[in-house]
Chain A
C-alpha cells in the first residue's frame, strides 16, 4: 500500500529520522535516501523514506494544473 502523502523530515540521526505530518510524528529509516536533509519532504514506504520530493517539480505540475483551470 503506497502512502502518497509526503512527510516533512524534522530530525535525522544515524540513518534514522523523524517525519511529521499534520502534527503526528513517525520514525523513518533513511538508509535509502542518505542525502535527505532536515526540512525535506519525503515519500515514505513501509517505514523507510524511498525518495525526496522535488519541490520545484511539484510547483511546475501545480502551475500546469492552474493553466488548465484557466482553460476550463
Chain B
C-alpha cells in the first residue's frame, strides 16, 4: 500500500530507539498520548518495551467511547426503547455498559439499534425509513464532529425531517488544559494525528504559554511514534518546549478550514461532562439553535434516571493517567473484553483493551 508500507519498514527504528535512550540518559520523563489509535499502535508495536526505563508513556483520554459519560449512554438506550425510533450508532458504542444496561442488550430485548460506519449510512437509513425517526449517536472528537455536521447540512439540503443527532462531542484542547493542571506530572504530549488534521496545531499553543509543556503531533506508524518521542525528549531536555508537527504529510498548522467552518456553523462550544474526569469548561459541542429540529436532545423529551457508575471501575483514573490498567482490581478478572465492566475495556482502542490484548502477560 502506497504511503503505508514505506512507513512500516523497520530500518531507522533501531537508530531512533538508540538516540532516544542516549538523549534520555538517567532522566525520569512522562509522556502522555491522547489518541486511542496511538495507544493501540504503541501497544501493538511493543514501543514501551523499546524505550528506556525512565521514560514512561501513559495513556490519556483519547478514546471517544471511553470518555462518554453514562448519562449519554443511558439517554441513547432510552431513545432506543421509544416506539418508531431507530438508533444508529458506531459499533463500538453498543457494548458500553450504561447505568443498568447497554445498547446491545437493549437491541436483544427488541430495541431498534443499527450499527453504521458513517453518518452517510445513518442518513440513508432515515431516507429509506420515512415512517421512523432515525437518531444518530454523535460521539467522538474533532475528527468525527465535522462528519456529523456534514450530515446535518445534507439532511437540511435534502429536507430529510426524520433524522436527528444526539450530540456528545468532546474537544481535545480543553481536556489537555484540565490534564495539565492535574496532579499527574506530564512532561510532554504526543498530540493526536487526525484531530490535528482537522483543528491544526495552533489550538495547542496554550500548553507551552500557560503550562510550559510541549507536544508533538504524531502519525500512527511505529516510526512516526518513535520519531515523535525523540522530538519530544529533545525539546524537554533542551528546555525549549514547543508544539511541533511530525505528521506533516497530513497535518497543516491551520488544519482543515472547510471542516472547521462546517463545525462552527452547526455546533457551539459548551461545558461538557467527561467520564471519570467530570465537567470540563468549554470542552464539548452542542447543536446550534438554528439546527434545533435535528437535535435529538430537544426533539425527544424523555426522562432518564440519574446515571450511576459501575462499582470498583477505575476508568476515570486510567483516563487521566493516574492508574495503569493492571492497578485496577477488576482488570482481567471481572472485567474482560468479553464481559467489560468499564468503557476502557470495551472499545478496541480503550487503554484497558489494548493492555489486555498486548501486554497482559507482563502483569500476570
Q: Which residues of A contact B (CB under 8 A)?
A: 1-2, 4-6, 8, 21-22, 27, 29, 31-34, 41, 43, 45-48, 50-51, 53-55, 57-58, 60-62, 64-66, 68-69, 71-72
Contacts and interface: CB of A to CB of B under 8 A. Distances in A.
Contacts of A68: 11-12, 15-16
A6 B147 contact: no
A68 B41 CA distance: 21
A6 B3 contact: yes
B339 interface: no
The 4 closest A-B pairs by CB, nearest first: A47-B118, A72-B15, A4-B220, A68-B12
A1 to B, nearest CB: 6
Interface of A is mostly: mixed
Contacts of A1: 36-37, 92, 347-349
A46 B117 contact: yes
Contacts of B36: 1-2
8 contacts: A1-B349, A4-B193, A5-B1, A22-B1, A41-B3, A50-B197, A54-B249, A72-B14
Interface in B118-175: 118-121, 140, 143-144, 146-147, 150, 153-154
Contact of B143 (A22, A50, A54): A50
B197 A51 contact: yes
A45 B3 contact: no
A50 B7 CA distance: 20
Contacts of A21: 1
A32 B15 contact: no
B22 to A, nearest CB: 12
A68 B9 CA distance: 13
Instruction: Give the interface size class of chain B.
Output: 35 or more
A42 to B, nearest CB: 10
A31 B349 contact: no
B311 interface: no
Contacts of B35: 2
Interface in B244-260: 246, 248-252, 256, 258-259
A46 to B, nearest CB: 5
A58 to B, nearest CB: 4
A60 B250 CA distance: 12
Given A22-B1, A41-B2, A53-B249, A46 B144 contact: yes
Nearest to A72: B15
Nearest to A71: B15
Name, among A50, A54, A60, A62, the residue most crowded by chain B CB atoms within 10 Å (CB to CB).
A50
Nearest to A69: B11
A29 B147 contact: yes
Contacts of A62: 6-7
Interface string B236-277: 000000000010111110001011001000000000000000
Given A2-B37, A57-B248, A50 B259 contact: yes
A21 B45 CA distance: 23
B24 to A, nearest CB: 17
Contacts of A57: 248-249
Interface in B198-257: 198, 219-221, 223-224, 227, 246, 248-252, 256
